[in-house]
Chain A
Amino acid sequence: DGGITQSPKYLFRKEGQNVTLSCEQNLNHDAMYWYRQDPGQGLRLIYYSQIVNDFQKGDIAEGYSVSREKKESFPLTVTSAQKNPTAFYLCASSFGLPYNEQFFGPGTRLTVL
């Protein structure tokens, strides 16, 4: 999976609880991204970060938060404000600009009960 790890692979949470998904990369990539994938839909961008201590909202940022304190790490928190959090979450990274090739992690499947 290209030096990007995501944990855990499966995550179950009760409705109303916040949950944090981990993403780590050892590719020395500057940029990191979080996507959400739902059945029958294309990947949708949640947040991205091009440098440490800076990040930008994507197309569906509401109900999510991120941090980028280290180049290697880009954790995603799914908050209780996210109305439909059950989905497959993918983390990716790339050198420099977003239109460079992005390498994806193995994904985390979050199920909210």
Chain B
Amino acid sequence: DVKVTQSSRYLVKRTGEKVFLECVQDMDHENMFWYRQDPGLGLRLIYFSYDVKMKEKGDIPEGYSVSREKKERFSLILESASTNQTSMYLCASSLGRTGNEKLFFGSGTQLSVL
């Protein structure tokens, strides 16, 4: 089975800190995604990557950046954390680009910014 591993289950940070969220997938998937999930808003796409060193903005990229130096690893960076970035962050990967491609999700990182 595909495994998508997120480095932390819970994270507490202070306003203004730089925050790194790490994600690793073990199935040689081309595509990787970062979503945030908030009650009533569902999953919103922050950034995605279709290849190493490539990145594209999703629907809500402001305040975030990403890094993909290796195929299996996709990092989400909060340059200066703010309280409105308190959320559940979900990483996902997929094999190719078909209309019904299956996303494999990690278990999420619950980030609290105080």
Q: Do A and B bind each other?
A: no
